[in-house]
Amino acid sequence: MEIIYLHHGFRHKGKVLTQNDKLHPLGEKEAKIVSKLLKIHQLQSHSIKAIYTSPYLRCVETANIINKHIKLPIIEETNLNEIAKDKTLTQLYARTKLFLSSILKKYEDNDSVICVTSGLNIIPFIFLQYNIMPQDDMPIIGVPSCSPIVFNITKENLRRLL
């Protein structure tokens, strides 16, 4: 199954970052550009079935902008929320595995979904793609805003890691 991971668009950054941070106008522009690319992908493959998004406002706004061009169901998923300050990388990995396991059961191998989430959430996607077991002392990997990254995660790969 193809998972199109997408870090939300650039956001307004106040003194304190919150779940309710809105997209900056630059983030809106990024999302519009990516939406056009995803529309081309959808026109060619017809494989994108849904957009999953963290309920964080910047993620929902990014998903809504993208959806103006591809018109798919948008599903809010709390397992796509970024890691909380009191949680560990291992817990984020476990939460992401649960989410991916549920969508792998729901869709066919040749289907695609878009996952709009925060930058830290790239880590478990990479671990699952390359069969790496997480450790809490591993380095944090970042991703530029609105950068679509495609992962092909099979049911068999996920089963080995459960």
pLDDT digits (tens, 9 = 90+) for 5-29: 999 999 887 766 677 889 999 999 9
Percent of the chain with pLDDT over 70: 93
Integer Cα distance of 9 and 25 in angstroms: 9
Whether the CB-CB separation of 62 and 93 falls below 8 Å is answered with no
Q: Which amino acid is at 27?
A: G
pLDDT digits (tens, 9 = 90+) for 89-124: 888 888 888 898 899 889 988 999 999 998 888 888
Burial class (CB in 10 A: 0-12, 13-18, 19+), 148: middle
Q: Name the DSSP letter for residue 81.
A: S
- What SS3 class is residue 115? strand
State the average pLDDT over residues 130-141: 80
pLDDT for residue 111 = 93
pLDDT digits (tens, 9 = 90+) for 51-61: 999 999 999 99
State the average pLDDT over residues 20-45: 92
CATH superfamily to which 2-12+21-161 belongs: Phosphoglycerate mutase-like (3.40.50.1240)
| List of residues 6+ apart from 72 with CB closer than 8 A | 48, 49, 50, 51, 114
* Band (139; pLDDT cuts 50, 70, 90): confident
Rg of the chain taking only CA atoms, in angstroms: 15
| Domain spans of the chain, in order of start | 2-12+21-161
Integer Cα distance of 114 and 49 in angstroms: 8
Worst-scoring range by mean pLDDT, 109-113, 140-144, 150-154?
140-144
pTM of the predicted model, to two decimals? 0.91
